[in-house]
Structure 1
Amino acid sequence: MIFTERLILRGPQAGDLDDMFAIYSDPRAMQYWSTAPHESRAVTKRSLEWRLNDWHSRKTYFQIELDGRLIGNAGNHVDNEVGFILHPDHWRKGIITEAMGAIIPFLWANTDHTELTADADPLNTASVGLLTSLGFTETHRAKGTFCIDGA
């Protein structure tokens, strides 16, 4: 668990389902995500179950809690890639900057990563700007890296 000025960054809990569904079913939050918005709690439940299992071995992708409520996720979720998602009600409040500002030093201290990467749609200027502010630099662009519902 990591504590910041406003946030608790913690592992997933079975009781996170409703808050996770609120995030992952919101088309605004999912606009640049690698999957379509979740159409049912069953889809989100599978994601939560995967996170619960993954947490036991890796403990690097955190639930973001603010005032007792789960509002997003951030951290290292696969290989050396970091990512984040936040419920739109909390955009533009510095939440991800605060979370990643704590998570990145945690990853350097607690993993064997020699580099961290992130994948962001160039049209998602908010995320690209945030990554730049965290010290990331663009290395390349690729087309067709995600396929959602056959498109």
Structure 2
Amino acid sequence: MKVTELAKEFGTTPDTVRYYTRLKLLNPTKSENGYKYYPPTEISRLKFILSARQLGFSVSDIQHIVDEASLGKAACPLVRSLIKERLAETEKQFQAMLALRKNMKDALAQWEVKEDKAPTSTMVCHLIDSFEPTENNGGSHE
């Protein structure tokens, strides 16, 4: 299969296939006319990569898993360990998003009863300046 055919087969873009090829996660063969062809092993590999990405594995994680498998080792223990890490990261992000959502709802409730004010030399928008979270959500400055 050529790049465009492979991309179409999996509902992705040719650029995505080329990206994984540049990273050496996919290894096509070259024909005499210069086209890259992806044999069945590489088609299976792309399916694996796309599935792993949908599960939140990073490209680095995928490379690590592929490297482990290429040594003839079962990658399953590594996969379980990595998914636990990704799940913990996702949970942390989810909690941060819930805190942000709560702040936004609180702000909207406070602001709906306040009048509009023109900016001054010391104030851009009094709504933001006057916002008071109902509880401390850790206000990170990342």
User: Structure 1 length normalisation: TM-score?
Assistant: 0.24
Structure (1/2) with the larger helix percentage: 2
TM-score by length of 2: 0.25
Larger radius of gyration: 2
Say which structure is richer in strand. 1
Using CA pairs under 8 Å that are at least 6 residues apart, name the structure with larger relative contact order, 1 or 2: 1
